[in-house]
Structure 1
C-alpha cells in the first residue's frame, strides 16, 4: 500500500512539472513562423489560423496563464520581445493585439487567457 501511495505521489509531481503554464524562468525559443521572434519555451503549438492577404504566416500556441482575463500578457514576455530587437508599434495596439516591427517585418501578437497567436504580416500591409 505504501508503494502505491508513493507511486501516486511521484506521478502527481511529475505530471505537474509537465504542465504548459507560463513562467519566465523556463526561457524562450524561436517562433515557428519567424526565427527572430521569441515565444515561451513551454508553449504548445496548435493548428494555426488560415493565412489571408494581410497575413503571410501564422502560428497558434497554448500556454496556461499567458494572459489575464483581458488578454494582458506578462511584462516579462513583452520585455523579452524587445530584448530580441523588436519594437512595439504602440500607436497600432488594439486591446490585446500588439504589433511589433523589426527590419521591415511586422509581427502581430494576439494574447488571450490561455492561448496566443503570432502572425507575420504580409509585406506592404496597412495597419
Structure 2
C-alpha cells in the first residue's frame, strides 16, 4: 500500500516539476542584415523598435534595438547558440574575453559589433574604431 501511495504522490510532483520547467527555444526563421551593419545578421523576425543614432557612450558609433520574441530566454539569461553560430558563419569572430553580462562582442575585419541580448530583445551597437571596451 505504501508503494502505491508513494507513486500516487511522487508521480504528479515529478510531472509538475517537468512541466513547469522553463524551456528556452530559439526562434528559427532565418536571418536578415541588421540596420547597423549590413554584414551583421539578425533574426528574420526582428522588428526594429528604435534606432540609436547618437548614443551617450563615446565608444559607440550607432545602434538599433529590435524586438525578437523568444530570444534570450527568461530574463535574457539564455545564450542564443544557433544565432551566435549564424553570426560566426557570416565571418564574425566572437570576442569572448570582452563579454560583459548580456553584452557580447563580435569582430569582422576592423569592425566591432556589441550585441546586447535581453528577454525578447536584441540591441546591436557598432563600436567606433579603436574603442575602449
State the TM-score, normalized to the length of structure 1.
Answer: 0.77
Gaps of 5+ in 2: 1-24
1:33 to 31, 36, 43: 36
SS in 1 for 2:74: coil
1:94 to 90, 100, 107: 100
1:58 to 60, 63, 79: 63
1:5 matched to which residue of 2?
none
SS in 2 for 1:125: coil
Could you tell me whether the CA contact under 8 Å between 1:22 and 1:42 is conserved in 2? no
| Structure 2: distance between partners of 1:93 and 1:99 | 6
1:123 matched to which residue of 2?
129
Could you tell me whether the CA contact under 8 Å between 1:22 and 1:64 is conserved in 2? no
Could you tell me whether the CA contact under 8 Å between 2:27 and 2:69 is conserved in 1? no
**RMSD of the alignment, in Å?**
1.6
Gaps of 5+ in 1: 1-20
| Structure 2: distance between partners of 1:120 and 1:75 | 21
State the TM-score, normalized to the length of structure 2.
Answer: 0.74
Count matched residues.
Answer: 106
Q: Which has the larger radius of gyration?
A: 2
Question: For the structure 1 residues 46 and 22, does the alpha-carbon distance in structure 2 shift closer, same or farther, using more than 3 Å as the test?
Answer: farther
